[in-house]
Amino acid sequence: MLTGELVRVRSTKDGLRPGFVKVDERTLERAAEVLALFHAGVEQGHTRQELNQAVMELVGDATDHKIWRGMAKLVTDKADFVTEAPLPPPELRARLFGELGAAPSRQAAAATYKRLAQELDSTPDELKRLLFADRKEEQQIKACPIQDAGWLVRRYNVALVQAVLLKATQVTVTLRNPRSERLRQLFRSVAFHRLMYRVTPVEQGIRLELDGPASLLRLNTRYGMALATWFPALLLQDGAWQIEAEVRWTKRRLRKQLSLSSELGLVSHYRDTGAWRSRPEQWFLERFEALDSGWTVRDGTVLDLGGQGVVCPAFTFEKDGRRAHLEVVGFWRKEWLKRRLALLDKHGPGTLILAVSTKLEGAKQGLGRFGGQVVSFKEVVPAKDVLALIESCAV
């Protein structure tokens, strides 16, 4: 993550504009120079302090020094640093100072250094260096996994946005015509980072409202890191999106607006696991298609629940103009199931079928008097039972 002094953001009357860099030949060359410096550091066993000094020499007095220092910071975050010493530095210090006593002479100190160095198969000068090797600046770089200069440039642009989101009070994300599987992928990431959110349907899409760290009274640093870490997951969406974020900027906490969209071409550095399907969903799809029922199966269509929320069914079925949907409910808490069923009972379409895992058998009372279509399953959703419900409820 970029620290405050490395963030390049221009504040205007209209809002905040991150200083994105172009992925052009010159920028790629400079990024490659930064990477080469770190890879050379791995070969030569440089410490953090030595790498920082090398970065400063590389950057010099260039006016765009924040870009290259920022990229170096991102590489440092990904690199592996270790503390190497024949003994743990605290133990080494305890032995040395214990032998020297409270007020050693120079001769006694030199003799003790020499004796201890011989015992540890080292030299006095090396021993002096290792004495405080556990300090962060003395850690040695052992690996630098980044090889691609293009990756580093794209990562830098995303990091600029993340740095701004650390100061957000609220973030509103609008997704246009999102695919159901991609939405589930996004919501899983929101839940994983424990973000506070609300979802409402809008014309041709949904609106996701996230509370920002600056809206909290306490723990805003931890929450801000969670929000910033979540942002690259949004970039995995393959549809159009827009962000409007209210930010408290500078020490004066001025209200500023940050506006972004998918048209900027920002690229996530997260590994895209794709439009993931659970095993029960995949197994059901294989068995349903084998029935050759004449029903077309596609990714689920996002359904509006009376403006109170949305549901992203796993599948939508179509035949002769009729339509039905299937949501697969796997491992969920009873409280969540109760809330979901209450919302579906009040606002849900009658064409939605719920496949509920029998692993929730102990919470069957959670189904209550739910009037919708329900089919239970253990490991595999019964395709024939779902087909019968589709035929009866599709409109």
HEC-encoded secondary structure of 26-87: HHHHHHHHHHHHHHHHHHHCCEHHHHHHHHHHHHCCCCCHHHHHHHHHHHHHHCEEECCCCC
Q: What is the pLDDT of residue 219?
A: 45
Q: CA nearest 213: which of 262, 173, 162, 252?
A: 162
Mean of per-residue pLDDT scores for the chain: 85
Q: Please check whether residue 372 is in contact with residue 342, taking contact to mean a CB–CB distance below 8 angstroms.
A: no
**pLDDT at 361 exceeding the cut of 50:** no
| pLDDT for residue 363 is more than 50 | no
pLDDT, mean of residues 205-210:
89
The full set of domain ranges for the chain reads 89-132, 166-270, 279-393
For 249, what's the count of Cα atoms within 13 Å in the CB-facing half-sphere? 21
Instruction: Name the class of domain 166-270.
Output: alpha beta
User: Per the structure block, which two tokens stand in for 308?
Assistant: 């109170």
d(CA 258, CA 279): 39
Q: Is the pLDDT of residue 220 over 70?
A: no
**Can you tell me the mean pLDDT for 207-222?**
73
Beta bridge partners of 363: none
Q: What is the pLDDT of residue 330?
A: 64
Confidence of residue 252 (pLDDT cuts 50, 70, 90): confident
Full-model pTM: 0.72
Domain 279-393, second-level architecture: 3-Layer(aba) Sandwich (3.40)
pLDDT at position 369 over 70: no
Model confidence at 362: pLDDT above 50: no
The strand pair at 322-329 and 352-357 is best described as: parallel
Over the stretch 108-132, which tens digit does the pLDDT of each residue have?
888 888 888 888 888 888 777 777 7
What the block records as the tokens of 50 is: 């030595």
For residue 354, the surrounding DSSP H or E stretch is strand 352-357
End-to-end CA distance of the chain: 51
Helices 48-59 and 65-78, packing angle to 10 deg = 160
Residues 291 and 384 sit within 8 Å (Cβ to Cβ): yes
Banded pLDDT at 251 (limits 50, 70, 90): confident
Q: How far apart are CA 178 and CA 243, in angstroms?
A: 15
**What percentage of the chain carries pLDDT values higher than 90?**
42
Mean pLDDT across the stretch 136-161? Answer: 93
